[in-house]
Amino acid sequence: MNYRWITALAVVALGVLAGGASYLCFHHTMSMSSGQNHDSLMWVRHEFKLSGEKLAKVEALHEAYESVCAEHCIAIADARKELKRLQNADASPAEIKSAADKAKAIDARCIASTEAHIKEVAALIGGEEGRRYLSIVLPRVVLFDHAGPASLDLHPTPTHDTPAGK
Amino acid sequence: MKTHPQDEALHQLLQHWTVEPRPDPGFRAAVWARIDSARRMAATWSGWLRLNVARVSYCAAASIVFAGTGGGLLAASQANREREQLIQRYVVSIDPHQQVNAPR
């Protein structure tokens, strides 16, 4: 084989090695910083480098809010289920309006409660990092389409800390 | 042996014919260039690499830089995607609406 071709193959192999090493190096670093344990609070812990007392407080707050969140889930699903039942049963407009108002009120209460929780966590994190937490998390809750098609399945979602079927 | 009168004429003509090549000023340089080129033909790959060290180094450096940058960018984009998934997992865990609306 011509030396020129041997050299070209060697240069390509060198490039592949360099690319692979670079990928492994960067991806390893970022994976370590994201954490391998995928519980829902993992991102907050690593992104804001929480440790010690601050971490314990944030974890306690998160844990406490999980039960509140579960209650809200049931309330939202119940209200939507009732509204759907009335609509399907051709109930009077007044009854439907009352159920819709109730569902809206529950939605508003849940959104307010979630926002309050997020602000509490941000205050616990504190300073610039707290503001950064708020700027990342709050828009994802506020801008979420809360009137989207609802699931009436009340089993815990697999995304929750307590896995479904546990 | 009999000779043809035309052969005799041809013979006479050839007796007086001389070749006078035009001098080529680049002839000597061309010969030396060919000799030099033959000398420069490396017998081994390492010899060839030594002769072309500048070009090979440039290509190797360019290959490492491009591939290294590409690998790094790919890793960064994948890590960013994983981070987004972790953020979304956290948001779903605290937002009852996203839990209720989560596709099953």
Task: Please check the confidence at residue A37 and state whether its pLDDT lies above 70.
Answer: no
Q: Which residues of B touch A159 (CB under 8 A)?
A: 89, 92-93, 99, 102
Tokens of B60: 């190797």
Percent of chain A with pLDDT over 90: 15
Write out the two tokens for B81: 């995607």
Kindly give, in sequence order, each residue whose CB lies less than 8 Å from that of residue B88, ignoring residues fewer than 6 positions away.
Answer: A140
Q: Which residues of B touch A17 (CB under 8 A)?
A: 67
pLDDT at A154: 40
Mean pLDDT of chain A: 79
- pLDDT tens string B42-62: 778 888 888 889 999 999 999
Interchain proximity B75–A11, CB inside 8 Å:
no
Question: Looking at this predicted complex, what is its ipTM?
Answer: 0.72
A36-54 CB burial, b ≥16 within 10 A, e <16: eeeebbbbbbbbbebeeee
Chain B residues contacting A via beta carbons under 8 Å: 42, 45, 48-49, 52, 56, 59-60, 63-64, 66-72, 74-76, 78-79, 82-83, 86-104
Question: What is the separation of C-alpha B66 from the centre of its chain, rounded to a whole number of angstroms?
Answer: 17
In the prediction, which pLDDT does B103 show? 56
Run of H or E including B49:
helix B45-51
Mean pLDDT on B87-100: 84
**pLDDT per position as a tens digit, A1-30:** 688 899 999 999 999 999 999 998 888 655
| Contact A124/B at CB under 8 A | no
Predicted pLDDT at A160: 39
The number of beta carbons lying within 10 Å of the beta carbon of residue A112 is: 10
> Cβ distance A117 to A61 under 8 Å?
yes
What does pTM read for this prediction?
0.64
Task: Provide DSSP, chain A.
Answer: --HHHHHHHHHHHHHHHHHHHHHHHHHHHHHHHH-S---TTHHHHHHTT--HHHHHHHHHHHHHHHHHHHHHHHHHHHHHHHHHHHHHTT--HHHHHHHHHHHHHHHHHHHHHHHHHHHHHHHHH-HHHHHHHHHHHHHHHHTS-TTSPPP---SPPTTSSS-TT-
For residue B41, pLDDT beyond 80: no
State the Cα–Cα distance between residues A153 and B11, nearest whole angstrom. Answer: 118
Residue A157: pLDDT over 70: no
Smallest CA–CA separation between A130 and chain B, in Å? 15
Q: Which residues of A touch B88 (CB under 8 A)?
A: 140
**Which tens digits make up the pLDDT trace of B7-31?**
888 998 888 888 888 888 899 999 9
Sign of the C-alpha dihedral computed for residues A20, A26, A29 and A34 taken in this order: negative
CB pairs under 8 A between A and B: 162
